[in-house]
Amino acid sequence: MAFWDQLKAKTTELSSQLKTKTDQFRNKEFANGSMAMCALIAAADGSIDPSERQKTAALIMSNDILAVFPPDELRQKFDWYCSKLESDFDFGKVEATATIGKLKAKPELARAVIQIGIIIGGADGFFDDHEKAAVRSACHAVGISPAEFDL
């Protein structure tokens, strides 16, 4: 239970930090990177279960930080990345990671995408090793040490 409490506290802290910076994030690169990250989390174990896809989509729609974007656009981008991952996991992973990597020159946006990945990954109360690996991979793509996020 201590791990769950710690994860919940970290998630709350990350959400709070992101809310204060929402206006900075109103751009296409951030939206694309966020949806690529969410799809990577949904597919972290190598497949996307339809219920997992639906739960992740619901979390995206309820996320305050992502509320600055039209929900239909986010859903379309998330579905697009999920489809790429479902049709060819390795290629989809490369494509999603490359999209996140485009934020390397914008460290604030890159950190926010990483934080969204952690929030989505831990939303079910269990941030598993596959999800952690997906977030670590995203960290490397943007040149941020995973240790910054206790990964």
- Return the beta strands (E) in 18-68 as ranges: none
Spell out the domains of the chain, with CATH numbers in brackets: 2-149 (1.10.3680)
Task: Indicate the helix (H) or strand (E) that contains 137.
Answer: helix 129-142
The residue length of the chain stands at: 151
Number of H helices, E strands in the chain: 7, 0
pLDDT at res. 46: 86
pLDDT at res. 91: 95
Q: What is the pLDDT of residues 32-53, one digit of tens each?
A: 999 999 999 999 988 888 888 8
pLDDT at res. 77: 95
Q: Which residues 6+ apart lie within 8 Å of 90 measured at CB?
A: none
pTM: 0.81
DSSP annotation of 146 reads: G
pLDDT at res. 60: 83
Q: From 28, 99, 29, select the one nearest 70 (Cα to Cα).
A: 28
pLDDT per residue of the chain (151 residues) written in tens, 0 to 9: 565 566 566 666 666 555 555 555 578 899 999 999 999 999 998 888 888 888 888 888 887 778 888 888 999 999 999 999 999 999 999 999 999 999 999 998 999 999 999 988 888 778 899 999 999 999 999 999 999 988 8
